[in-house]
Structure 1
């Protein structure tokens, strides 16, 4: 039997549709309520916050690097300048999302190396803020600028920006004193003020450039700019100019520096020239030197390896970092110690048979003159650089008094005011030997110390300063390179106490002995003073580089060139009223009086004589008018 066909229930379907419509309406209403609520929160409750976010997407703060301060010598000669340069920068947010591809294209367009490509990645990984450009290359050539311009459509995010970079017009002449700037590395970036150094690519690495970095750098400026969606600058909203770095005037004299270099020639060594009245460093030569301009843009691996691996060590600052036995150049200071402590008088005599023996010991400590000088007083001992006399004097003083007096002259400690690279040197003592060698101090070591050998190590700057104290009769002025910084005179925050002697006549007595070195017919450096228009007080030194066995004689023909004795000479002039102090050290030069002495004389002539070879009026008699004490 067929089934009945059910009839369609229109009423039921109507109710179902109505329920569904109501559900949809409720859902739409709820969504609209949520949307309206969210709009209310964003536009009313969070209005200030969202406005700031919007502005940050539209407005960016771009740093403006300050111009670095200039460096001059005492006569206004520019030693460190700024020159315009075109640098290649990249803003990663404008590179279309594929900065690596852009850099690959750049490497191909400019024909760069794989090392250059890796360096680009390293530069981009450094911390920076959005839309802040990163410098990839410094000092583009005209050809490179043209290639970038022609291929600009393939290099989104890359721009050629004009900037100033450091230039050293006199190049290697002041590399070790002025120093140089170089690219900021990752380690330095972590310690620098991220705000002050935004937009700055270089920082002082050595010398004055590093010591006065904060003053030379200046303060960063900024621009608030409005950008479009592609990061292009549409307009400048606000501008704050950067504060340029302060200019620095150094105590160095470019003319005297060149004269000192000429006197030293191509020999390895150093020359330090000081004004004893105020501590001004008038010349500071470390030879060989190098061109600091190589480091400004970023030195190549090959160029750096050549400098680093050179046997002559051109990067090594011998004036501040070199440690040498001072040899007989410290005998005047030892004589001051003997006179002041009452151990000797100027007339105290010692018989020299060519050697010295400690009581109850048979070891012979040889004089350089093996035949001996006979009876020797203090004046003759300084004039002849008699080792036997100073062996005896050192023994009578003892190591403790000898150490303390030498320390008063700055030996074995940093003496400069603004040369952070300076080494401390070493003035040994029994306490030092016990702490470092775990050994007792022996009497023979005191004797060796009395002639500037043994454990004693000093820098050429310390040797010059000790000589300056002899010239100034114990008045301390720290050696310094900066005469003014931003127009102001630097002040020594920790001045050294002057050397006060019980008998002030000791200064003149030692001075007389040093004059005899130069002007007495028996003086060992009389040849260096021949024909001088002024009196010189000097002292030579010849210091061993390698030890010689007891009883053996020094034979230069059997000694490697770099194992031969170092030649040293110190002096000041005019001897009656000193205006200039000169200290010379020549590595493996062998004879201080014969080799280093003429260098000292030539430098003094360059300072004290005029262009016609006549003594300048200010040094022609009486106290000099130059050399106002440094505040």
Structure 2
């Protein structure tokens, strides 16, 4: 064998040491790398291709939404109650900021000079947005900028990449605090609202109604968004306008409210809060409703105390005032007292009188000798004494009982005396149930349907309600039984019955107009940007199944109340008023006893046009609420009457 042959069979030394294992690992790594790249390309171009393509288009072509002018809100005479203003905000778009942290911080410092925002706060919010993958969404770093600061920012933004001035629609409530509970306010969307409103085409920076008419008629007031489409360069500056669609302004909401009357009632209530010699002390809360007796159109609805709803547009600068009213647990400033319940007192006797006439427990000619109280003999000959609010010492029929607001007459009408007078039913429980049923016919125990948020249902107690609710800890066995005293208390608007001033006004309207329970409505019509009526808010109501004769008897009693009875201080020099006083006892948190003051009535007596209901949380109905109601009726007849 030659040396050549030997060499062919046995490789030289260096060939024996080739790194076969390392090459295999390298090949596997390269294949894995290409596999990852392939998967990434599939993800970007196929699975998420449209998303990235859209991002690419958006980085090149900028679509800027133009928020529409919000519709106005006017009173019945067309007087504007709100004014549209621009709200200036500073925004920053993280993805357009310089890469250098030093350059970014110089921008943050410049923003501090211009609008007073902390550089650390801006940096923190930018870093959070980038970390969350939202660098392409503009961050609002300051809002409600003064006009001078906004102009300075707009001028400086040319040299501040990523920074811009945003102008969004805002409101100025020019009618004053008397209208705050009616109008409500607008504000930025909460996270929960944004999730819902996005499905309706809302933009994140679009304000929405938060309460009152602003919220109830949001879809009418909002309008339609417009936009501009423009090409931008790599520095984020717009270079070419590609298209534009103008926004459509929102509709105007015209109210039934008379601005002059609303302001007058608010000032009158406020001026009447002080104790007028009754000894019960100053009132802390008050409410009044002025409503069309036939249609339910609300001419005025006032709640005291009130607040300046412009505070929400300037919350950063008025934080202390906002915190004060939000944490008010004494007078509950934000609570609309006209829509929230209290014991209605003797105003409820109008229901009891109607029920007694309809159910036959009394007739228009039934009379009782009324003294100072009613004694009822119970089990084991125990005598229970039920006092009247005064010693009448006279023979009364139902008209006189309404006029003088006799408790004893309505005790006998509703529950009887267990001996001679039977009451509304065959026994105590039946009488209570029948009275409750009549209260519900007059709209108690459920919302009236007014076009405002926050309306309470009130409460109508009956035997079933008591058995259901007064059980468990704190209640003795048998305490949830329905007693004669429960019927008596309900009959005079005491005990567990609760009603809102608006419910009392609605009941009064039904008595005044002959049996139609109207649905109160604040708004009158929706008017388009072109000034044409889009739709009107038509009157609605339901008919109470009651003989008109009985309502006429009740009206006669209400007329007597103002002509010679407990409501005499509601008399008007301009028309004939019929009404009913109410004074409801209650216990304060400190355990002391006090009284709510009520008056509800209508005018003119012969052809009712207007209902007025007045409430004070402290006072006597005939002395405190009745005179205020009379003045309101005077103002209505002179200045508002259609």
Tell me the TM-score range normalised by the shorter chain.
Answer: 0.7 to 0.9
2:94–2:126 contact (8 Å) kept in structure 1: no
- Deviation of 1:580 (Å): 0.6
Task: Say which of 567, 574, 580 aligns to 1:525.
Answer: 567
Structure 2 counterpart SS, 1:270: strand
Aligned to 1:551: none
Structure 2 counterpart SS, 1:518: helix
Aligned to 1:607: 636
Alpha-carbon separation, structure 2, partners of 1:315 and 1:601 = 27
Aligned to 1:22: none
Structure 2 counterpart SS, 1:209: helix
Indicate how the Cα distance of structure 1 residues 430 and 250 shifts in structure 2: closer, same or farther if over 3 A, else same.
Answer: same
Aligned to 1:509: 553
1:379–1:513 contact (8 Å) kept in structure 2: yes
- Deviation of 1:179 (Å): 0.8
1:87–1:135 contact (8 Å) kept in structure 2: yes
Aligned to 1:393: 413
Unpaired runs of 5+ residues, structure 1, are: 1-33, 549-557, 611-615, 619-625, 627-631
Indicate how the Cα distance of structure 1 residues 343 and 236 shifts in structure 2: closer, same or farther if over 3 A, else same.
Answer: same
Indicate how the Cα distance of structure 1 residues 107 and 366 shifts in structure 2: closer, same or farther if over 3 A, else same.
Answer: farther
2:216–2:452 contact (8 Å) kept in structure 1: yes
Aligned to 2:449: 416
Indicate how the Cα distance of structure 1 residues 363 and 609 shifts in structure 2: closer, same or farther if over 3 A, else same.
Answer: same
Which digits, 9 at most, give the CA deviation of each residue in 1:228-249, with x for residues without a partner? 1122222222222222221100
Alpha-carbon separation, structure 1, partners of 2:261 and 2:591 = 35
Aligned to 2:332: 313
- Deviation of 1:107 (Å): 3.8
Does residue 346 of structure 2 align to residue 328 of structure 1?
yes
- Deviation of 1:592 (Å): 0.4
Does residue 590 of structure 2 align to residue 571 of structure 1?
no
Which digits, 9 at most, give the CA deviation of each residue in 1:37-96, with x for residues without a partner? x9xx99xx99x9797665343123222212211101100111122123433222232222
Indicate how the Cα distance of structure 1 residues 66 and 142 shifts in structure 2: closer, same or farther if over 3 A, else same.
Answer: closer
2:184–2:212 contact (8 Å) kept in structure 1: yes
Indicate how the Cα distance of structure 1 residues 505 and 379 shifts in structure 2: closer, same or farther if over 3 A, else same.
Answer: same
Aligned to 1:452: 493
Aligned to 1:3: none
2:346–2:580 contact (8 Å) kept in structure 1: yes
Structure 2 counterpart SS, 1:329: helix
Aligned to 2:291: 274
Query: What is the TM-score when the length of structure 2 is the normalising length?
Result: 0.79
1:338–1:393 contact (8 Å) kept in structure 2: yes
Alpha-carbon separation, structure 2, partners of 1:538 and 1:329 = 9
2:71–2:221 contact (8 Å) kept in structure 1: yes
Indicate how the Cα distance of structure 1 residues 362 and 402 shifts in structure 2: closer, same or farther if over 3 A, else same.
Answer: same
Cα-Cα RMSD: 3.4
Aligned residues: 557
Indicate how the Cα distance of structure 1 residues 234 and 569 shifts in structure 2: closer, same or farther if over 3 A, else same.
Answer: same
1:183–1:201 contact (8 Å) kept in structure 2: yes
Alpha-carbon separation, structure 1, partners of 2:178 and 2:372 = 44
Which digits, 9 at most, give the CA deviation of each residue in 1:485-542, with x for residues without a partner? 232445579x6531121x321111111110000112xx1122331x623211110001
Structure 1 counterpart SS, 2:488: helix
Aligned to 2:171: 166
Unpaired runs of 5+ residues, structure 2, are: 1-33, 274-284, 416-422, 425-430, 472-479, 528-532
- Deviation of 1:426 (Å): 0.6
Does residue 303 of structure 2 align to residue 291 of structure 1?
no
Task: Say which of 379, 395, 398 aligns to 1:378.
Answer: 398
